[in-house]
Amino acid sequence: VSIILTGSGSTRCSGRVEVYHNNIWGTVCDDGWGLNDAQVVCRQLNCGAALEVPQSAHFGAGTGQIWLDHVTCSGSESSLTECQHSGFGSNRCEHGQDAAVICSDLIRLAGSGSSRCSGRVEIFHSNVWGTVSDYNWDLNDAEVVCRQLNCGTALEATPSSKFGAGTGQVWLSGVSCSGNESSVTECQHSGWGNYYNNYYSLHSYDVGVICSGVIRLNGSGSTRCSGRVEVYHNNSWGTVCDGGWDLNDAEVVCRQLDCGSALEVPQSAHFGAGTGQIWLGDVTCSGSESSLTECQHSGFGSNRCEHGQDAAVI
């Protein structure tokens, strides 16, 4: 079954999902639509990793048939129609519920032991996925990859095929990013695929990244290990309210970000007020949790806080 991404503002790797069935293109209803489903679409289109599943016909409402509903993928299927669904045309949806995806396009993380936010870095170029050699690879380069994948901040820039050796092309070597680029291919590098029968052509030197995932530190004057605490939920970054915020809570954040021990919990939006959602309030950690979202809290988005109360750590 063919699949395309289309609609207002769509690109090669982001848009409203449409599938071809019975000689007609139709849409997919977003009931239960999530990142696992989107991951299958992104893979099917050679578009890297799923970053977001925008709601409410984000790329405009389609027309004609709504082919699929209640799609449930594990994320490993090779085609969307291999996933469970309610049957072609069996739904009561409207086009205001047309499902969409935003994929990472030219970059993905893969390899042994990889996850959504850690793995061997692979780049799509000339219609082929290939790897990056570890010459000059550092945290600034990894930072760009993590940001590009909506994976928070870079914790490690791994050399020497930590996530296993890739296959095929080694596309890039000598990557040198300032850390502020929006895509790793904007960074300086030694050219595309100019690596044959030398050190740089060996997959034993394939690079990887380990990103912080659903947490990051941000704001005015922030550093890798100090800043306003932000968490990723429902496809958007939001802040944490500082009501009851203390060193135990900060300790979990610092450990999660590989930043040692918590020294301070500055009050009153010390690193500036965030924008958008305030995801967490009344956070209560023992200090031994491996992730902030494991701590007790009032529920995602369940608070009456303002951004002047955005929590921070040093």
Q: Could you report the per-residue pLDDT of 114-149, keeping only the tens digit for each?
A: 877 889 999 988 888 999 998 889 999 999 999 888
Structure tokens at 172: 């890039």
> What domains are defined for the chain?
3-103 (3.10.250.10), 107-211 (3.10.250.10), 215-313 (3.10.250.10)
Percent of the chain with pLDDT over 70: 97
pLDDT class of 3 with cuts at 50, 70, 90:
very high
Kindly provide the residue ranges of all beta strands, DSSP E only, lying in the chain, ordered along the sequence: 3-11, 14-21, 24-28, 50-52, 66-68, 100-103, 107-115, 118-125, 128-132, 154-158, 170-172, 208-211, 215-223, 226-233, 236-240, 278-280, 312-313
Nearest to 211 by CA among 255, 150, 293: 150
Tokens matching residue 203? 């997959």
Which residue has 């009851």 as its token pair?
244
pTM above 0.75, yes or no: no
Phi/psi at 215 (nearest 5 deg)? -140, 145
Taking only the tens place, the pLDDT of each residue in 24-66 is 999 999 998 988 899 999 999 988 888 888 888 889 999 999 9
Q: What is the pLDDT of residues 287-300, one digit of tens each?
A: 888 888 889 998 88
| Residue 84: Cβ-neighbour burial (10 angstroms; 0-12, 13-18, 19+) | exposed
Give me the chain's average pLDDT, please: 89
Q: Is the pLDDT at 199 greater than 90, yes or no?
A: no
| Nearest CA among 298, 295, 299, 274 for reference residue 286 | 295
